Structure 1
Amino acid sequence: MATTSFSELERVNRIGSGTGGTVYKVLHRPTGRLYALKVIYGNHEDSVRLQMCREIEILRDVDNPNVVRCHDMFDHNGEIQVLLEFMDKGSLEGIHIPLEQPLSDLTRQVLSGLYYLHRRKIVHRDIKPSNLLINSRREVKIADFGVSRVLAQTMDPCNSSVGTIAYMSPERINTDLNHGQYDGYAGDIWSLGVSILEFYLGRFPFSVGRQGDWASLMCAICMSQPPEAPPSASREFREFIACCLQRDPARRWTAGQLLRHPFITQNSTDYGFKSS
């Protein structure tokens, strides 16, 4: 999409609210196309605004079939507004996928998007079911880069506490683990594993609810053994989840390695979720 004039956009309805922003379905009147417009709250200091604009500029270059496309950005009345690809079927939050073949298709799509982002030195930092969107073509895409950070040698490591604690890795919640080192790529893989296991089980895979208080979630995630797929699942799926949910982040598989895991490669037929 070519650069758009903000005045050409018409708000249709609100489709969601998240950390720091509200998302609207908007109509681009000249073309009749639908988009999502994320309005980021608040009047930010110049330095923060500059950093946000810099991140969004980088995200405009992201082009992958399994990542929600960022089309344009507006600085309107002191609010930063981001024009995004519209996903007409919404998020995967609350979805139950007990069959492994369609779950493998979905997982492959998310992994493909994550592999692309990680290769571009982008860590998402908030992978969770509500940030995985689907459209009527059954394409699954990673969304919400409001908290992503572009990693480069010149930048600070991932030490700002953003994201949803329920899906955070143990070493991110408790910095005493792993000698205070945090690998954002491995953190994304943990969050992916928790999300995929939740889809399979139809519930949050820890002993507490994901809306539980901070202390209960911290105990469940940091003090107990990582959750496992049940014995009734295939060996391939159980091992796949184990490769994601290693307590030691150095032992977690990368997105590239997981794309070659038998759970993904042996279920390569399209069972309802379109693969990229």
Structure 2
Amino acid sequence: MALVRERRQSKLGLRLPEITDRRPRFPLPLPPTINQQVTKSSISTTEAEYETVKVLGHGNGGTVYKVVHKKTSNVFALKVVHADSDPMMRRQIFREMEILRRTDSPYVVKCHEIFEKPDGDIAILMEYMDFGTLESLLKTTGTLSEATLADVARQVLNGLNYLHAHKIIHRDIKPANLLVNKNMQVKIADFGVSKIMCRTLDACNSYVGTCAYMSPERFDPDSHGSNYNGYSGDIWSLGLTMLELYLGHFPFLPAGQKPDWATLMCAICFGEPPSLPQGVSDEFRSFIECCLQKDSTKRWTASQLLSHPFCR
């Protein structure tokens, strides 16, 4: 037996890599396309072409800047993830890079370029949405009307329909991850916890995303179906997002109350789905009910919701 092992090893000539704290335990992103390749000699030139205007936000081990291309005066958003970020954040940025390279939709934020800086930071140059997020819009201008929400829902559903058709599940749909510009164009962003499915109906039950917008089956798989598909989880999150933009606060909690994990789990898993106040249209009420079915198999798909009277 010892002789057989030696001969097999000599033919293969392969050795499994050792798993260490210094070796990444996540898959590397897809190779860049030709127009995305950046050599070390051109990295400093690329950075020098842009002037930083201001910081748009911090979080998840990185910073987002508003930058201007010096020659053309075109404005972009530059997302920089620092080299010393923890492995989880690095894994998320590699996942986001892979998805951004795959997507090409007017309802998904556009990525123009990805490059690694000399200090190890990773930079993603994206289109700039001048009104920020729907979360910031809610804080500055107040709640949205049904007519505006119908337009928002239609755009987000077009984005989700595109992503789901390409076997991509976002897993973190919420007002903070939906970008908007002055023309009220809405685009899906932040794919750090998204998943590319190998097959359309693969299981997608990892506990990721913002817990407030998680569907009941994500909190309690045993009670709400352990073999659910993740696409319906995006629809649940969309329903809560639409309700929050209409009510002005997170639907499962009274206005001003800060959510905690235990309260959210009890409300989402054991409570009734949040209801709309009197005075809303039957179409909007029906749309929310189609999104917030606790049984994930009864939720409408993005394609079905696009034909709902509220969106039409």
Q: TM-score range by the shorter chain?
A: 0.7 to 0.9
Q: Which secondary structure state, in structure 2, belongs to the residue aligned with residue 111 of structure 1?
A: helix
Q: How does 1:146-161 map to 2 (within 5 A)?
A: 146-153=192-199, 157-161=203-207
1:231 aligns with 2:245: no
Q: How does 1:113-262 map to 2 (within 5 A)?
A: 113-153=159-199, 157-207=203-253, 211-262=258-309
Tell me whether 152-161 or 28-37 shows the greater mean CA deviation: 152-161
Q: Which secondary structure state, in structure 1, belongs to the residue aligned with residue 310 of structure 2?
A: helix
Match of 1:112 in 2: 158
Tell me whether 107-116 or 203-212 shows the greater mean CA deviation: 203-212
Displacement of 1:71 in angstroms is 1.5
1:201-251 CA distances to partner (integer Å, 9 max, x unpaired)? 122111356742111111111110111222321111111000000001111
Displacement of 1:252 in angstroms is 0.5
1:75 to 95, 116, 122: 116
Q: Distance in 1 between matches of 2:200 and 2:229?
A: 16
Counting aligned pairs with the same residue, the percent is 54
Tell me whether 40-49 or 198-207 shows the greater mean CA deviation: 40-49
Q: Which secondary structure state, in structure 2, belongs to the residue aligned with residue 166 of structure 1?
A: helix
Calculate the TM-score normalised by the size of structure 1: 0.86
Displacement of 1:55 in angstroms is 4.9
Can you give the 5+ residue segments of structure 2 that lack an aligned partner in the other structure? 1-34, 39-45
Q: Which has the higher contact order (CA 8 A, sep 6+)?
A: 1
Displacement of 1:84 in angstroms is 1.1
Q: Distance in 1 between matches of 2:87 and 2:259?
A: 36
1:10 aligns with 2:51: yes
Q: Which secondary structure state, in structure 2, belongs to the residue aligned with residue 106 of structure 1?
A: helix
Displacement of 1:176 in angstroms is 2.5
> Measured at CA, do residues 248 and 214 of structure 1 come closer, stay the same or move farther in structure 2, by a change above 3 Å?
same
Q: Which secondary structure state, in structure 2, belongs to the residue aligned with residue 180 of structure 1?
A: coil
> Measured at CA, do residues 168 and 68 of structure 1 come closer, stay the same or move farther in structure 2, by a change above 3 Å?
same
> Measured at CA, do residues 58 and 98 of structure 1 come closer, stay the same or move farther in structure 2, by a change above 3 Å?
closer
> Measured at CA, do residues 257 and 210 of structure 1 come closer, stay the same or move farther in structure 2, by a change above 3 Å?
farther
Q: Distance in 1 between matches of 2:220 and 2:62?
A: 27
Match of 1:273 in 2: none
Give the alignment's Cα RMSD to 1 decimal.
Answer: 2.6
2:80 corresponds to which letter in structure 1? V
1:38 corresponds to which letter in structure 2? K
Displacement of 1:97 in angstroms is 3.6
Calculate the TM-score normalised by the size of structure 2: 0.76
> Measured at CA, do residues 194 and 154 of structure 1 come closer, stay the same or move farther in structure 2, by a change above 3 Å?
closer
Displacement of 1:162 in angstroms is 2.1
Displacement of 1:156 in angstroms is 7.2
Return the index of the structure with the highest Cα Rg: 2
Can you give the 5+ residue segments of structure 1 that lack an aligned partner in the other structure? 266-276
